[in-house]
Amino acid sequence: MIPAPLIIGLDTVGAAALLAAVAVFVAKAWRPLGGMGRFLLPAILILGLAEEAANFMESWGYLAQADLFEGAISPLLPTLWLFLFAVELGRADQSRLARSYDRLKAVHALALKLTVTMEPKAVMDEIVDAAARLLDAPHVIAFTPDPESQQLVARAWRGISAEEGAAMRIGVAEGIAGKAFCDRRPHVTSRIGEDLSAGTAPIAERYGIVHAVGVPLLFKGNSVGVMALGRRRGEPFTENDIRLMEVFCADAAVAIENAELYRRVVASEARYRALVENSQVAIVVVDADRRILAWNRGAERLFGWTADESFGKHISRIYAEEGRLMPERDILPALQREGLWSGEVPSQRKDGSRFTAFFSLSRVFDAQNRVICTLGIISDVTESVRVREQLYQAQKMQTVGTLAAGIAHDFNNLLTAILGFSGMLRSALPPGTEEHESAVSIETAAQRGSQLVHQLTAFSQKQPVSPQPVDLNHIIQETARLLERTFPKTLALQTRLASDLATVEADPNQIHQVIMNLAVNARDAMPEGGTMTFATENLTLEPGSAEAPGVRPGPCVVLTVSDTGTGIPPEVQPRIFEPFFTTKARAGGTGLGLSTVYAIVMRHGGQITFKSQAGQGTSFRIILPAVSH
């Protein structure tokens, strides 16, 4: 028989223990319970307290039938506990699944976002933000290797100051981050003072970090960086956390590599675009239909059209009229055969001015050997063509001059005899007779031959030169007075002479011959009358000047002889300085006038050029070096 006081004491202790357990359980279990759990737990507690109260009252004699009450309640309590466990276990599983789904959804959303973000810094910032949200880690640092220092350098961070992040560097294989980078697997620790690197341990201590993990950023099996995460409180990083971070870091590594590749592509494109845009030559790209795809600044300077004005336009706009047939006749067949073509093309600018351009064209093919476009590098070679033609002309003149010198010497010997005997014959025959007139004709023809020999001698540079200081203005004024008396009155002579004209070192007789030859040509170009103008001016040529490549740099004198005559036809212009070439009637000239002028000017170290347009006249411009004082 158990004494009643002992029973009462046991019930009292049991009730107190139950109340304490209830208080602790409610404090810990109430908050995480779901709706059904929050209903079942109070019911179980009330029934448990009711059972204990019945036992207590029975012990004190207040309730005689407590066993009946206990019999009704005791079988119900295990059932309710089991039901509560089943409900809460299912709810916990659902909660874990929902949390995992949310994490995976977040990883997927981040992966999608990173695929469209190409700026490396923005990618790194997005990665550390997402990592902090996914693992509830307020402190995150993303490291990538620095090739120069062989260290891991912080590229983005959260939870530390900007100064700390900018200065953050750790050695490879140092601390959990360095080890994770080298071992290519995660490293986790809760021993902050022992396992962190010298660079990160002070920061962890400063911010109270107690749990840390380092997860490598792997791309094709190689470490391209590492993520370091830290928590100040809560549970350590679990296996699920680490597996989630591995999945996350795999996507992050791909995004980082893509961003770096994009950065390199952008930098390469910018570099090559700068090279193309700043090139001094014109660079043009056209498609298969020969419409312009690219037009650099050099093309803008050369042709006058801007890039906006040129894009999409047909390339034929840059060809001059005389070059319009070249694409179909020469360029396109060569490109189709060989993929390359180069040559000189008559071209025109936006303002209609003509020039000679050198085209270097090449077709660009894709991996399937299909033509993508045609690349053209174009430069203005007008001056080079002019210099080349002058050189060719000089070589031709030298060759013909050598031949003419030999002919002139032998021919002059023959003419000397003819002139002597024809003079004797003319003197011996009575004037007025047919024989006398024949002798006069022979003598006249021989004299014309002698003049021709004189021209050949001048042309062949065998004529002696007597250089001396010469005032061009004085020679022009003398020549003008002579021309006014001998030329038709329908021709008007004008002079525009520089008052301070420099002196030239030249043979005055040959300079007079140059002026007379040009004046006679101008007279013949104005059969119906017109205006002939002589002009002089001073000029200073800089070293390397393209204006007169063959003339000595320094002070020069410019002589211009112009007329308002018929002009020189374009097809004739390339040949006007050729010896024996003339457009005059058979008896109108020898074809040595301009070639002699050219030879004399070259002999004096000068240059002669001309401009002519049919129906508007011709202008010859002679540059001679002046005497340096």
Kindly give, in sequence order, each residue whose CB lies less than 8 Å from that of residue 295, ignoring residues fewer than 6 positions away. Answer: 284, 305, 306, 307, 310, 311
The bridge status of strand 491-496 relative to strand 530-541 is parallel
Per-residue pLDDT at 591: 63
- Average pLDDT for 419-432: 83
> What CATH code would you report for 386-459?
1.10.287
Confidence band of 444 (pLDDT split at 50, 70, 90): confident
> What CATH code would you report for 468-625?
3.30.565.10
- Whether the pLDDT of residue 387 is over 80: the answer is no
Per-residue pLDDT at 465: 61
- Average pLDDT for 267-280: 79
Q: Is the pTM of this model over 0.85?
A: no
Per-residue pLDDT at 442: 84
- Whether the pLDDT of residue 622 is over 90: the answer is yes
Q: Please report which residue ranges of 487-533 form alpha helices under DSSP H.
A: 508-524
Task: Please report where in the chains the tokens 């977040």 appear, as a residue.
Answer: 106
Q: What is the pLDDT of residues 157-198, one digit of tens each?
A: 998 888 988 888 888 888 888 899 999 999 988 887 666 776
Task: Please report where in the chains the tokens 């030249």 appear, as a residue.
Answer: 506
Instruction: Please report the sign of the dihedral spanned by the C-alpha atoms of residue 286, residue 292, residue 295, residue 299.
Output: positive
Per-residue pLDDT at 130: 83
- Average pLDDT for 518-529: 89
Per-residue pLDDT at 216: 93
Task: Please report where in the chains the tokens 């986790």 appear, as a residue.
Answer: 188
Confidence band of 586 (pLDDT split at 50, 70, 90): very low
Sheet holding 617-625, edge to edge: 491-496, 530-541, 554-563, 617-625, 607-613
Is pLDDT larger for residue 420 or for residue 46?
Answer: 420
Name the packing angle between helices 76-115 and 35-59 (round to 10°): 160
Identify any residues that bridge with 303 across adjacent strands, giving them in sequence order: none
The CATH number for 279-380, chosen from 3.30.450.20, 2.70.210.12, 3.30.70.980, 1.10.579.10, is 3.30.450.20
Share of the chain above pLDDT 70, in %: 72
Q: What is the pLDDT of residues 293-310, one digit of tens each?
A: 999 989 999 999 999 999
Per-residue pLDDT at 382: 86
Helix (H) or strand (E) holding 611: strand 607-613
The amino acid at 506:
A
- Average pLDDT for 136-154: 88
Of 115-124, 165-174, 198-207, 476-485, where does mean pLDDT reach its minimum? 115-124
Domain boundaries, the chain: 4-95, 117-266, 279-380, 386-459, 468-625
Give counts: helices (H), strands (E), the chain.
19, 18
Cα–Cα distance for residue pair 229/215, rounded to 1 Å: 8
- Whether the pLDDT of residue 504 is over 90: the answer is yes
Per-residue pLDDT at 432: 81
| 279-380 shares its CATH topology with 386-459 | no
Look at domain 117-266 and name its CATH class. alpha beta
DSSP output for 420-453: HHHHHHHHHSPTTSHHHHHHHHHHHHHHHHHHHH
Confidence band of 585 (pLDDT split at 50, 70, 90): low
Per-residue pLDDT at 603: 84
Identify any residues that bridge with 618 across adjacent strands, giving them in sequence order: 612
Per-residue pLDDT at 206: 84
Q: What is the pLDDT of residues 534-568, one digit of tens each?
A: 999 999 988 877 777 778 889 999 999 999 998 88
Instruction: Please report the sign of the dihedral spanned by the C-alpha atoms of residue 275, residue 352, residue 537, residue 614.
Output: positive
Share of the chain above pLDDT 90, in %: 22
Per-residue pLDDT at 345: 92
Cα–Cα distance for residue pair 142/156, rounded to 1 Å: 5
